[in-house]
Structure 1
Amino acid sequence: MSDETPISGSTTPGWFDISSPDAARARQFYQEMFGWPIHAIDDTYALVGGPPAGGIGQAGPDSPYTGIVVYFPVDDVETALLRAEKLGGSRTMDPQSVPGMGRIAVFTDPDGNAVGLKSP
């Protein structure tokens, strides 16, 4: 166990993303399952209202993951991603800017679970 101070941010998820080989089917499933309000941006991605808000997107051959990823707010995505790697995680998606969201990145923990990071 590391004696360094943990990355600051929130332990409450700030966003979720579901990546599916059939995004239209996934949107219909979750809308009917949970009554989520869904706003399709295009054929490949839709926004889900609520707290926490999220999205459902089309997974393709170059997608960094398939399934659900929960994004946790951090002060700085790059710093948090480096810390995850130092602790045994592996980078899955490099930091990138997303309009209206800020910066995001994804890593896998030592057990292979995908975890997202989100910063302003």
Structure 2
Amino acid sequence: MSSNAVPTWFDISTPDAARARRFYAEMFGWPMDAVQEDYTLVGGVEGAPVAGIGQAGPHSPYTGIVVYFQVDDLDAALAQAEQLGGGRRLDPQSVPGMGRMAVFTDPDGNPVGLLGP
């Protein structure tokens, strides 16, 4: 795993995505780009997306804000998290234009995201 893992993305998963979009757009002036009915990209500097706001359903792996860290080897990082006492929350999956993502919980139950090839 990369020793330079830095935050590169965050997601806000909420039972009321429309409310969250309105709140954050008004609070911070974030530009929003609804790419799906239940998922909106949040623009950052020069319009490049830096985050997403998604609708959480009854089977969502988490709710709240999850910060994603870029790693060189997603599978190795996820395995290391589990060896250190974390728990797998979302199995690795492909995300168009971003590579692969996964989510684990740290020993205190906080969800943490991973992005990698």
Same fold per TM (> 0.5)? yes
**Paired AA for residue 40 in structure 1:** A
Report the identity percentage: 70
Q: Give, as a single letter, the amino acid of the residue that structure 2 aligns with 1:78.
A: D
1:94 maps onto 2:91 in alignment? yes
Q: Distance in 2 between matches of 1:87 and 1:56?
A: 29
Q: Which residue of 1 aligns with 2:6?
A: 12
Counterpart residue number, 2:36:
42
Provide the rounded CA distance (Å) in 2 between the counterparts of 1:86 and 1:11.
18
TM-score by length of 1: 0.90
Bigger Cα displacement from structure 2, 8-17 vs 23-32: 8-17
Please state how far the C-alpha of 1:99 moved relative to its aligned partner. Answer: 0.3
d(CA) in 1 for partners of 2:37 and 2:25? 16
TM-score by length of 2: 0.92
Q: How many residues align?
A: 114
CA contact (8 A) 1:31 1:38 kept: yes
Residue 11 of structure 1: how far off its partner (Å): 3.7
- Alignment gaps of 5+ in structure 2: none
Distance 1:12 1:105 in 2: 15
The one-letter code sitting in structure 1 at the alignment partner of 2:43 is: G
Deviation at 1:50, TM superposition (A): 1.1
Which stretch shows the higher mean deviation, 50-59 or 107-116? 50-59
> Secondary structure, in 3 states, of the residue corresponding to 1:26?
helix
**Structure 1 unmatched ranges of 5 or more:** 1-6
Q: Which runs of 4+ in 1 moved over 6 A?
A: none
